[in-house]
Structure 1
Amino acid sequence: MTALLLSLLVSCRNEPKQQTPASEVQSSAIKDTIADDKDGKSNTSMLTPREQKLEGFTFRYGYTAYDEEKYSLSNPGYLEVLKANKVVFKDKFEGNDEPYITSLGYHNLDGNKFVFCLNYGTEACDYVQTSRYYVMNEDGSFRYINNYSSFTGGDHYASQHFSHIFPNDSLGKPNTLTIVEGITYHDHDKPDVADTTHITFKGNAFTIKKLTDNLSKAE
């Protein structure tokens, strides 16, 4: 799978980069000195913390450092969740481009749980977009679930994609968040491949079971 990712990303580097639209967030200025990027332009925009309010919590997130030449797609980032100005959950990630949060709403996952994603990256040839899935339990505790990515490359020869299915969806399973990942070959010279993962909840815990492993064998 690693070889496929590299071949897809390398083969269309001349395609224009299109910025992923970010959700509406509130930004606050930072006081620290901002390093310049390789073009001599300020990275202020990427280093400015983002803030968003959801379900009575304040979500703060952004990058602690940003340099596309030094870090490439792995700029160090953070997520903090606050309640009454107190941090109740924190996480780290490595990414690029504008981060933003999308709410996936409440779902019956052995209890009424709130699910959201922290997203970053770009939907364009030669670039990867990633979604990190999180859950808020009924007691207000948070847990990171897993991350999934999509990209297109190889002069649009193939695309990797993913989608989620909740219990109340037509193909849903009780107490289970289902993730379907796939690779589509646009020239149709190879059969498309897909994998299904079941993330099954029991109380505040969950188990991840990948039913097949076709994507890792793709060429």
Structure 2
Amino acid sequence: MTPHEIITAPYTIWTAPLGTAFPAVGEAPGADWALLGTRGSRSVSQDGVAVQHLSQFTTSQTAGALGATFGFDTLGGMRVQVRLLDITLEQYAIALGGNAVTRTRPELETVGVRSIGLSRPRRAGAPFAVLVRGPSPYFGGQSAQYELPRCLETGGGADVVYRRGKPTGLALQFLALEDPAATSEETRFGRLVAGYAVQLIEFEGSTQSGVLGFDGSEQSGTFAKED
């Protein structure tokens, strides 16, 4: 049995304007979603994509107790970090807070150029949505994805080093912000969705037979057909 829960494949990162609907698991991202890196996962360093859950926990002790009597979170959140081996200006601009890439068309005997400003804006730019997608831990061929509705890029201060024998990289960091449209406390920063087995059913009269997947398992048999 294949251990699908052991993930060794790289994940990809996509960005889209704030409010863009997330694609369903198994569906290709729509036109509004931009793949990070010219070559997707092939533009990511071997460190891969790191998803960090941030927490700062504080405890308190009452006068009559020898140890902590209760605790509470004082800081929470999450962020996604990646080192991108892609120095095209479109990707470089992400590390600079989304600076615009200016293009000058090539003309006869004149080279076309692209340029960006090198200073980050004084204030953070507009939040945007981030999708982090890769294999599902439940079933082969299915996807899992982190859906982060509101993010900012906050890692553009890292050094960009040009050296012999090693690829130059951009250190990017996407910090998740609280989503005011979240439907529960648990989804303030987004959610993680993972696909599992597809239901494959053949109908024969009053019964249906085939394979059903429950929580990643496979079950074969004949089941009563619902009218």
TM-score range, shorter chain: under 0.3
TM-score by length of 2: 0.25
Structure with more strand by fraction? 1
The structure showing larger relative contact order (alpha-carbon pairs under 8 Å, at least 6 residues apart) is 2
